[in-house]
């Protein structure tokens, strides 16, 4: 028997191909008779399209076709659907304006697709795209959610004249108001959770092809969930039967949420491939990604925390305007509601909470889930309030948290979630110890001697992963299921191919999932391959987002493994001439209870496929099982981050001196991969707090349109992370796993902003805390 | 990128003759600005004249009192040059702070000066050291070379061949980088030589400029304290998403002070 694989730091199986250039990304796929598409995009944020003249473009060299919104309308293609219906405070459905794949008469954000040029070569398509003449009547634009709600603001959609998609609320408002009325202290903050642009290393790409032979389509696409992409595209947009469409998302170079959604480009290249009877490829350049990928965050929030004189939380009241952009992206509606307000209890026993969210249309790129999706915004609200309250009440910031921690599980929060398990003291105690909080005062004094301002900040976050169960999600408006599927195909000589509906685009599933399977079957990890990302191979899948893969996809695999083992026991019983009830199984070995009689897994699988000696009267040959798993609850990873910064008061530059992260992800399959996920998440959270900001000017032009102006963190912007874990296994999945992909991005911004505000003595500071922002705040504090 | 005719002349005369044919004939040095603009279709020259094959334009020569650097010398060569590091370490250090490794491997001194980006680093060294720009036609003192936003004293058909840097007693360059682009939000080059003290500021304004108040203060006493109290006026300075004029003005003083500290190290 091999050494246990669960919990082992096994190097990633997929890295060899990634690091040696053997990966196969969508743009690497070039099909016979390939053509190339370039989209003509609106230069205006809001304009009527008076006319489009594409005759010059059509006659340009190499051009095969130019399509506009009229062609799409004539073909009766539907608009892009939204996957989650939110019901507003008055019981009305949210406003769902059409989201055409090519603009119909009007454009509503800079970068919106107006036409597509398909040509023999990419250069020809680019040249011809410049020849498409679009006559616009420019309209006033609005990019800010709060301004879009003001009377007289430019209206984007006829169905939403006040730009309001919905006003939604959660919690007992009167109980919250009553608690505030009696509170000894109220802490109030108003802030913007800054808009972010996702930056996967591989931009979006799609290559659609059509087969006249059997009237079928294949779409190669950089997607996080090919089955969902197929479902939405066939059922809602193109009116095609699913069995005629294959979606392949092979190697995908990062997503962070931005590749969950069905995008217009994917539909257009698929549709155009039939019109031309040739494959049509489109790959975004970085500037195009900036303009047209779904952005993240963009909340304007007023948040209040009511406390008694001892720092016990009594109530929380939150009001948020969430910018959803010009159209509803696939999951835009559930991010600032279901994935946000439900997290406002955090790790605390706050008895009553009320949150009201207004989702607002603006002349900006659609906003949707981005690493963390609602949960970073919620954690920022909770953890900035808590830290600020501690300062106002002169209670130690760790102590105020301990006074309010949830310690009894399961715990029903006042905002719908039921936490199954957790141990918040364990992570906070470990983090404060690792951070040497006791020595902070001395370090601060030493820094002051050098003219530097030192600060310390905490964040104790909670995360809800693996949205579930489907029935509950459905009752809350989800228009899809939230299960996962897995299949174990055991080959005759005992090696195994695993098919998973989860999708790996950087997460390392090919290794961690293989560890789960190889461990259970007693196989070397190289005997197990993971296949994902192809609707023609995998029975079904909901894909990867919301840190769901190991908890939901991994469990589906375990359920399939259970069936493999159950059938294997039957076969082994026959081979060993024993009763099935007497067969015991442990990591690849079937034993007759109380004896040394045994059969190895490979012998059993061989018997299944070469069934000469086989219980044909009771069993089918073969060893191939699948399972669908619909979880009974979310999982609830949690953790404590401590960040220590030094601010240069002369320049406002913030340097992160130390970063301690102690997370509870339940059981861990591969600690090395988990470390990497935490590091990446922290870097993205630090990016939000320190460097990243998507900025549109008042006319709706994207000012931060490239890496020249949009600043993602570099290696020198982040410290050496000191990470550790504590473990309370999830109680409702067999692996005891919770998920780890988003934690860093969820907890980091609050910890960092808490540290910076501590250093400079400001109550609040807008993100990102750029040098100028910090310097100005220091000047203001001096003046005050 | 739009199609263009590519030329690779072997000598300066041929390059200048080609360049003189019209405003759509562009000289290509390291290509770190022009090629980007062409890729974005913001610039569409009919002819590109690559200076990369002209051997005379490259190289570093140091005498006791001067360092002469060919216009096509790459930033990385200046950064790593033992001669420059010995004679004017501040200049080598400045070159090592331009862009990233890839940019430094391609970008050239002459290209940077001819482009005169307001946030470029080299103009600060050229003006701060009182260098001389040598062209195919004449020698231009730094004080007369930088004319304004992306504007220089170069005439049509005039090509920078080298730059002669006088060796100072001491010098330093301190740069406050744009977080995103790593261009200078403010860069201050301070040099003390037998002919006096010069302070050149890049990034802050539409064009590199000398900070004469600081020069006076430092001429009286070359110490950080001398400039710590000298304020730069904010009016006329750049203001953008990353830094307003007031912040830039403040940074000029801070960077100048730190440059003097570094020069004295």
Structure confidence by residue, pLDDT tens digits, B129-140: 999 999 999 999
Tokens of residue A487, six digits: 């299949």
pLDDT of residue A475: 86
Per-residue pLDDT band for A3 (boundaries 50, 70, 90) equals confident
Evaluate whether residue A354 is within a structural domain: yes
Do A270 and A217 reside in the same domain of the chain?
yes
Interchain contact, A711 vs B179, CB within 8 Å: yes
Query: By the 8 A CB rule, do A229 and A217 touch?
Result: no
Kindly tell me if the per-residue pLDDT of A202 is higher than 70. yes
Do A208 and A316 reside in the same domain of the chain?
no
Q: What is the pLDDT of residues B20-36, one digit of tens each?
A: 998 899 999 999 999 99
Do A749 and A647 reside in the same domain of the chain?
yes
Q: What is the pLDDT of residues A252-284, one digit of tens each?
A: 999 999 999 999 999 999 999 999 999 999 999
| CATH class assigned to B5-166 | alpha beta
Do A238 and A363 reside in the same domain of the chain?
no
Residues of chain A above pLDDT 90, percent: 97
Query: By the 8 A CB rule, do A156 and A163 touch?
Result: yes
CATH number (domain holding residue A60):
3.90.1170.50
Number of structural domains (chain A) is: 3
- State the average pLDDT over residues A722-751: 97
| Cα within 13 Å of Cα(B211), Cβ side | 30
Query: So where are chain B's domains?
Result: 5-166, 170-264
Evaluate whether residue A185 is within a structural domain: no
Do A625 and A638 reside in the same domain of the chain?
no
Do A306 and A442 reside in the same domain of the chain?
yes
Query: By the 8 A CB rule, do B144 and B169 touch?
Result: no
Do A572 and A687 reside in the same domain of the chain?
no
- State the average pLDDT over residues A727-751: 96
Residue numbers in A near B179 (CB within 8 A): 691, 711, 717, 770-771
Dihedral (CA of B49, B53, B54, B59) sign = positive
Per-residue pLDDT band for B64 (boundaries 50, 70, 90) equals confident
Domain of residue A98: give its range: 31-139+201-254+259-292
Evaluate whether residue A183 is within a structural domain: no
Higher pLDDT, A476 or A575: A575
Residue numbers in B near A127 (CB within 8 A): 2
What DSSP state is assigned to residue A235? Answer: I
Closest residue by Cα to residue A602 from A529, A701, A676, A496: A496
pLDDT of residue B1: 87
Evaluate whether residue A597 is within a structural domain: yes
Query: Could you give the CA distance from residue A489 to residue A623 in angstroms, rounded to a whole number?
Result: 7
Assess A650–B contact: CB distance below 8 Å, yes or no.
Answer: yes
Task: Quickly list DSSP for B155-173.
Answer: PTT--EEEEEEEPPSEEEE
Domain end marker among A600, A629, A658: A629
Query: By the 8 A CB rule, do A483 and A556 touch?
Result: yes
Q: What is the pLDDT of residues A203-229, one digit of tens each?
A: 999 999 999 999 999 999 999 999 999
Distance from CA of A680 to the nearest CA of B (A): 19
pLDDT of residue A100: 97
Do A428 and A525 reside in the same domain of the chain?
no
pLDDT of residue A324: 98
pLDDT of residue A628: 97
Dihedral (CA of A381, A382, A386, A389) sign = positive
pLDDT of residue A178: 98
Do A567 and A672 reside in the same domain of the chain?
no
Query: By the 8 A CB rule, do A221 and A230 touch?
Result: no
Assess B180–A contact: CB distance below 8 Å, yes or no.
Answer: yes
Name the average pLDDT for chain A: 96
Q: What is the pLDDT of residues A581-640, one digit of tens each?
A: 999 999 999 999 999 999 999 999 999 999 999 999 999 999 999 999 999 999 999 999
Residue numbers in B near A123 (CB within 8 A): 1
Distance from CA of B94 to the nearest CA of A (A): 19
Q: Which DSSP helix (H) or strand (E) runs through A497? A: strand A496-500
CATH number (domain holding residue A669):
3.30.365.10
Contacts 24+ apart (CB under 8 A), A612-616: A613/A574, A613/A575, A614/A571, A614/A574, A615/A570, A615/A571, A615/A574
Which residue of chain B comes nearest to A127, CA vs CA?
B2
- State the average pLDDT over residues B187-206: 97
Enumerate residues 6+ apart whose C-beta is below 8 A from A210.
A216, A217, A270, A273, A274, A277, A279
At A183, give phi and psi (nearest 5°).
-70, 145
Beta bridge partners of A586: A589
Query: Could you give the CA distance from residue A330 to residue A770 in angstroms, rounded to a whole number?
Result: 32
Do A443 and A312 reside in the same domain of the chain?
yes
The answer, yes or no, to whether the previous bond of B175 is cis (omega within 30 of 0) is no
Q: Which of B44, B186, B241 to mutate to test the interface with A (most CBs of A within 10 A)?
A: B241
Do A704 and A744 reside in the same domain of the chain?
yes
Query: Could you give the CA distance from residue A94 to residue A331 in angstroms, rounded to a whole number?
Result: 13
Tokens 């009974």 found at: A632
Evaluate whether residue A192 is within a structural domain: no
Kindly tell me if the per-residue pLDDT of A1 is higher than 80. no
Tell me the CATH number for domain B170-264: 3.30.390.50
- Same topology for domains B5-166 and B170-264, yes or no? no
Per-residue pLDDT band for A473 (boundaries 50, 70, 90) equals confident
Query: By the 8 A CB rule, do B218 and B152 touch?
Result: no
Assess A62–B contact: CB distance below 8 Å, yes or no.
Answer: no
Interchain contact, A695 vs B2, CB within 8 Å: no
Assess A243–B contact: CB distance below 8 Å, yes or no.
Answer: no
Residue numbers in A near B244 (CB within 8 A): 772
Q: Which of B100, B187, B247 to mutate to test the interface with A (most CBs of A within 10 A)?
A: B247
Kindly tell me if the per-residue pLDDT of B179 is higher than 70. yes
Per-residue pLDDT band for A116 (boundaries 50, 70, 90) equals very high
Do A538 and A427 reside in the same domain of the chain?
no
pLDDT of residue A290: 97
Kindly tell me if the per-residue pLDDT of A436 is higher than 90. yes
Beta carbon pairs, A and B, within 8 Å:
39
CB-based burial, A315-354: b 16+ in 10 Å, e otherwise: bbbbbbbbbbbbbbbbbbbbbbbbbbbbbbbbbbbbbbbb
Kindly tell me if the per-residue pLDDT of A775 is higher than 90. yes
> ipTM strictly over 0.85?
yes
Assess B243–A contact: CB distance below 8 Å, yes or no.
Answer: yes
pLDDT of residue A2: 62
Evaluate whether residue A750 is within a structural domain: yes
Domain end marker among A629, A650, A680: A629
Interchain contact, B243 vs A703, CB within 8 Å: no
């Amino acid at each position: 028997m091999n050494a246990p694989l669960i919990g082992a730091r096994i190097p990633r199986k997929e890295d060899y191909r990634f690091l040696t250039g053997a990966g196969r990304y969508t743009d690497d796929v070039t099909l016979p008779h390939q053509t190339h598409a370039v989209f003509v995009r609106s230069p205006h944020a809001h304009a009527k399209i008076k006319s489009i003249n594409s005759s010059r473009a059509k006659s340009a060299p190499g051009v095969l076709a130019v399509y506009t919104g009229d062609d799409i309308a004539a073909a009766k293609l539907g608009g892009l659907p939204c996957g989650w219906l939110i019901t507003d405070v008055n019981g009305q459905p949210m406003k769902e304006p059409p989201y055409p794949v090519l603009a119909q008469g009007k454009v509503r954000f800079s970068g919106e697709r107006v036409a597509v040029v398909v040509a023999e070569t990419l250069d020809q398509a680019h040249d011809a795209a410049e020849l498409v003449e679009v006559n616009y009547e420019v309209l006033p634009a609005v990019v800010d959610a709060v301004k879009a709600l003001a009377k007289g603001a430019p209206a984007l959609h006829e169905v939403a004249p006040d730009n309001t998609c919905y006003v939604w609320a959660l919690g007992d408002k009167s109980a919250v108001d009553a608690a505030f009325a009696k509170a000894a202290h109220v802490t109030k903050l108003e802030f913007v959770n800054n808009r972010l642009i996702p930056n996967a290393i591989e931009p979006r790409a799609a290559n659609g092809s059509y087969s006249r032979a059997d009237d079928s389509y294949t779409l190669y696409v950089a997607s996080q969930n090919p089955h969902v992409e197929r479902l939405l595209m066939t059922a809602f947009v193109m009116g095609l039967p699913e069995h005629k469409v294959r979606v392949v998302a092979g190697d995908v170079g990062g997503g962070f949420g931005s590749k969950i959604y069905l995008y217009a480009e994917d539909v257009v290249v698929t549709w155009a491939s039939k019109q031309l009877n040739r494959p049509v490829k489109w790959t975004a350049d970085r500037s195009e990604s900036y303009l047209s990928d779904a952005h993240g965050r963009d909340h304007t929030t007023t948040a209040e925390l009511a406390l008694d004189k001892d720092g016990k939380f009594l109530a929380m009241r939150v009001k948020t305007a969430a910018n959803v952009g010009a159209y509803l992206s696939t999951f835009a509606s559930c991010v600032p509601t279901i994935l946000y307000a439900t997290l406002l209890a955090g790790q605390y026993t706050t008895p009553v909470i009320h949150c009201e969210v207004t989702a607002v249309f603006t002349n900006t790129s659609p906003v949707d889930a981005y690493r963390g999706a609602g949960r970073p915004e919620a954690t920022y609200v909770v953890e900035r309030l808590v830290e600020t309250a501690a300062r106002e009440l002169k209670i130690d910031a760790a102590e105020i948290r301990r006074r309010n921690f949830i310690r009894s599980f399961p715990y029903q929060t006042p905002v719908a979630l039921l936490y199954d398990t957790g141990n918040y003291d364990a992570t906070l105690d470990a983090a404060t110890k690792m951070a040497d909080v006791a020595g902070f005062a001395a370090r601060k004094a030493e820094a002051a001697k050098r003219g530097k301002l030192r600060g310390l900040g905490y964040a104790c976050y909670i995360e809800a992963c693996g949205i579930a169960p489907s029935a509950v999600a459905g009752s809350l408006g989800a228009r899809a299921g939230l299960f996962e599927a897995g299949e174990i195909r055991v080959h005759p000589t005992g090696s195994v191919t695993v098919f998973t509906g989860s999708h790996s685009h950087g997460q390392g599933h090919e290794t961690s999932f293989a560890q789960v399977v190889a461990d259970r079957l007693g196989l070397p990890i190289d005997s197990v391959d993971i296949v994902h990302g192809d609707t023609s191979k995998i029975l079904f899948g909901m894909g990867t987002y919301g840190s769901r893969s190991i908890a939901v996809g991994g469990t589906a695999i375990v359920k399939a493994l259970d069936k493999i083992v159950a059938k294997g026991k039957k076969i082994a019983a026959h081979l060993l001439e024993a009763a099935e009830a007497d067969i015991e199984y442990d990591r690849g070995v079937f034993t007759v209870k109380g004896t040394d009689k045994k059969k190895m897994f490979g012998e059993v699988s061989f018997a299944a496929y070469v069934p000469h000696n086989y219980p044909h009267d009771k069993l089918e040959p073969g060893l191939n099982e699948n399972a669908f798993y619909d979880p009974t609850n979310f999982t609830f990873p949690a953790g404590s981050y401590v960040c220590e910064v030094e601010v240069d008061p002369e320049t406002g530059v913030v340097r992160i001196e130390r970063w301690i992260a102690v997370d509870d992800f339940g059981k861990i399959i591969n600690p090395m991969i988990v470390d990497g996920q935490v590091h990446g998440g922290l870097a993205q959270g630090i990016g939000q707090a320190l460097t990243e900001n998507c900025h549109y000017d008042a006319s709706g032009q994207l000012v931060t349109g490239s890496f020249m102006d949009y600043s993602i963190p570099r290696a020198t912007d982040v410290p050496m992370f000191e990470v550790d874990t504590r473990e309370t296994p999830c109680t409702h999945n067999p692996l005891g796993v919770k998920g780890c992909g988003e934690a860093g991005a969820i907890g980091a911004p609050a910890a960092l902003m808490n540290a910076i505000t501590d250093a400079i003595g400001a109550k609040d500071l807008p993100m990102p805390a750029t040098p100028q922002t910090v310097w100005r705040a220091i000047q203001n504090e001096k003046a005050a | 990128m739009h199609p263009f005719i590519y030329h690779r002349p072997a000598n300066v005369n041929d390059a200048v003759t080609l360049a003189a044919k019209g405003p759509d004939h562009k000289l290509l040095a390291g290509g770190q600005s022009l090629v980007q603009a062409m890729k974005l279709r913001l610039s569409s020259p009919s002819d590109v004249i690559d200076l990369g094959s002209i051997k005379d334009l490259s190289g570093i020569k140091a005498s006791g009192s001067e360092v002469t650097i060919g216009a096509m010398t790459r930033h990385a060569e200046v950064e790593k040059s033992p001669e420059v590091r010995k004679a004017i370490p501040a200049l080598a250090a400045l070159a090592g702070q331009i862009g990233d490794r890839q940019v430094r491997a391609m970008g050239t001194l002459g290209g940077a000066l001819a482009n005169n980006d307001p946030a470029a680093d080299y103009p600060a060294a050229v003006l701060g050291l009182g260098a001389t720009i040598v062209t195919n036609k004449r020698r231009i003192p730094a004080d007369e070379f930088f004319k304004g936003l992306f504007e220089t004293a170069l005439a049509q058909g005039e090509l920078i061949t080298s730059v002669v840097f006088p060796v100072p007693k001491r010098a330093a360059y301190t740069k406050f980088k744009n977080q995103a682009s790593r261009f200078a939000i403010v860069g201050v080059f301070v040099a003390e030589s037998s002919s006096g003290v010069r302070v050149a500021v890049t990034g802050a304004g539409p064009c590199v400029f000398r900070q004469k108040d600081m020069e006076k203060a430092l001429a009286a006493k070359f110490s950080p304290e001398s400039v710590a109290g000298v304020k730069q006026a904010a009016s006329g300075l750049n203001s953008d998403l990353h830094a307003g004029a007031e912040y830039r003005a403040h940074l000029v003083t801070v960077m100048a002070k730190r440059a003097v500290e570094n020069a004295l190290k």
